[in-house]
Structure 1
Amino acid sequence: MARSAAGALDREENTKIIRHIEQGGISTLLYGGNAIFYHLTLAEYRTALELISQCAAADTLVIPAIGPAYGTMLDQAEILQDFDFPTAMILPQRDVVSSAGIASAVRKIAERLGKPIVLYLKYDRTVSVADAAALVNDGLISAIKYAVVREDYTQDDYLRELTDKVDTSLILSGLGDQPAIVHMQDFGLGGFTTGCGCVFPQLSVALLQAIQAKKWDEAESIREQFLPLERLRDSLGPISILHRATELAGIAKTGPIIPLLSEPDDAIKTRISAALQQMSQAK
């Protein structure tokens, strides 16, 4: 999400980001980690919901996030009831939680909203397969965003067990464009979330279409085009690099990065610009 120089959410610049993504062929906007929804104040939360609901196209599916603390979820759920979003994603947390406790929170928030929830699985077995499957079976889950990092994405016992118990069309590869091929080809996941698609949406759409058509060589060739920026995100911080890349690509003035995150230094910005140029030339 773009902010003004003074740090306020910027409607005009955020609209530019939304239009860029929509015009690139993406019709679902998920506002979670990359939008830094973790650190919104309650006053900002209402402003952010107003902005994203009013500025997105009528046929764009918009999904905001809530949490990650339970108290924050409760306060934000009260605000969400004033809007018509079809679902919300609970941001992941691995400290001071248990699997049964997360499942209980999902149940209570879904009941309060009267809507199913996007369950974000970011850490290995923080939510057990049994608890996740029970939530799905009870109609409380609209989708599962699966984002557990592996050295080898073909080897993932947690995901394999999850796909044995849950309809794979409900599970999305949640780590951007890089593991999307493996997750959809080997595990049958229903789709993927993109980070760099904020900058190169047409490329993410092309990757999805190639995977769906089972054109694996073409999909791999497209995936490799994301590597210059994705490698920077992996090594230097996925959120802050994407925030600044969106501005350096000329899409919108994204403004300052709020604490608890920090601004990339000038040397890193130079590397981001080089990565963007390399990707643009490769398209």
Structure 2
Amino acid sequence: MARTADGRLDPQENAKIIRHIEQGGISTLLYGGNAIFYHLTLAEYRAALELISTSAADDTLVIPAIGPAYGTMLDQVEILRDFDFPTVMLLPQRDVVTSAGIASAVRQVAERLGKPIVLYLKYDGVVSVEDAESLANDGLISAIKYAVVRKDYTQDAYLSGLTAKVDNSLILSGLGDQPAIVHMRDFGLGGFTTGCGCIFPQMSTALLQAIQAKNWDEAEAIRERFLPLEQLRDSLGPISILHRATELAGIAQTGPIIPLLSEPAESVKEQIAAALKQMS
């Protein structure tokens, strides 16, 4: 989400980002962690929903996020009632939660909203396979965004358990372009979310098409093209690096990064610029 110099949401610059992504062949916009929906005020939340719902093309699927705190979710659901988003994503929280508690929140939010929601699984086992299966069987889950980091993505007992119990087409690889091949090829996941696709949407679209066509060599070659920026995001912060990279790539003036995140150092911005040049 682009902001003005004084920190307000910037409609014009956000529209530039949306147009860039859409022109690269991506027709689903998911506003979650990279958009820093975690830290929006309630007043900003309504403004953000108005901005993204009116700026996207008519045939673009737009999905905002709610949470991560339970009270925040309930307040945001009341605002969401005034809009027509097909689903929302529940932002992940690891502390002060239980699996059964998260499942209960999903049920209550889905009931109040009148729509199934996207469950974002970022931490190993935070929602049990049994609870995820129950939510899916009851029609309360529109998708699962699976984003548990592994040293070896081919070895994932949690994901194996989920795919054995939940329709694989509902589960999306949620860690960007890097594990997408393994997740879709080896675990049969239905798709993947991309962060760097905000900057290089054509590359992400090409990666998806190569995976769907089972052109594994081509898919691997495309995946490797993302490495310069993805490695910076992995080591220095996925959200703040992407926020500044979007501006350095000339796509839009993204403005300041709001607390609780912080601006990359000048030396890091130089690394970002070098990575972008290498990828272009």
Q: Shorter-chain TM-score category?
A: over 0.9
Per-residue CA deviation, residues 52-107 of structure 1 (Å, 9 max, x unaligned), is 00000000000000000000000000000000000000000010000000000000
Local SS of the residue matching 2:131: helix
AA aligned to 1:46 is R
Q: State the distance in 2 between where 1:105 and 1:167 align.
A: 21
Per the TM alignment, residue 17 of structure 1 is displaced from its structure 2 partner at its CA by 0.1
- Where 1:94 maps in the other structure, the secondary structure is coil
| Cα displacement string for residues 148-201 of structure 1 (whole angstroms, at most 9, x for unaligned residues) | 000000000000010000010000000000000000000000000000000000
Instruction: Tell me the equivalent position of 1:54.
Output: 54
Distance 2:101 2:122 in 1: 16
* Cα deviation code 1:13-35 (max 9, x no counterpart): 00000000000000000000000
RMSD: 0.2
Alignment of 1:239-278 (within 5 A): 239-278=239-278
Distance 1:133 1:3 in 2: 39
Matches within 5 A, 1:1-283: 1-280=1-280
2-structure distance, mates of 1:274, 1:122: 30
* TM-score using structure 2 length: 1.00
Matched position secondary structure for 1:49: helix
CA offset at residue 242 of structure 1?
0.1
One-letter code aligned to 1:279: M
- Cα distance in structure 2, aligned partners of 1:155 and 1:200: 29
Q: Quick one: distance in 1 between partners of 2:207 and 2:53?
A: 27
Alignment partners' CA distance in 1, 2:94 and 2:81: 27
User: Whole-Å Cα distance in 2 between the matches of residues 124 and 37 of structure 1?
Assistant: 22
Q: Distance in 1 between matches of 2:66 and 2:147?
A: 17
Per-residue deviation at 1:50?
0.1
Q: Distance in 2 between matches of 1:258 and 1:265?
A: 15
- Number of residue pairs the alignment of both structures matches: 280
Q: How far apart are residue 270 of structure 1 and its match?
A: 0.3
The one-letter amino acid paired with 1:123 is Y
| Alpha-carbon offset, residue 48 of structure 1 | 0.1
Q: What is the CA distance between 1:40 and its match in structure 2?
A: 0.1
Q: Distance in 1 between matches of 2:43 and 2:220?
A: 43
> Where do 5+ consecutive residues of structure 2 fail to align?
none
Letter in 1 for 2:244: R
Q: Distance in 2 between matches of 1:266 and 1:101?
A: 42
SS in 1 for 2:222: helix
Superposed structure 1 runs of 4+ greater than 6 Å apart: none
Instruction: Please give the alpha-carbon distance, in whole angstroms, between the structure 2 residues aligned to 1:166 and 1:265.
Output: 43
Which amino acid in the other structure matches residue 34 of structure 1?
N
In structure 2, distance between residues paired with 1:161 and 1:220? 26
Return the alpha-carbon distance in structure 1 between the equivalents of residues 123 and 148 of structure 2. 5
Distance 2:242 2:232 in 1: 9
Query: How far 1:236 sits from its partner (Å)?
Result: 0.1
Where 1:3 maps in the other structure, the secondary structure is coil
Q: In 2, Cα distance between the equivalents of 1:56 and 1:20? A: 11
CA distance in 2, matches of 1:271, 1:75: 40
Sequence identity (%): 84
Report SS of the residue matched to 1:7. Answer: coil
Rounded Cα–Cα distance in structure 2 between residues aligned with 1:140 and 1:51: 27
Letter in 1 for 2:5: A
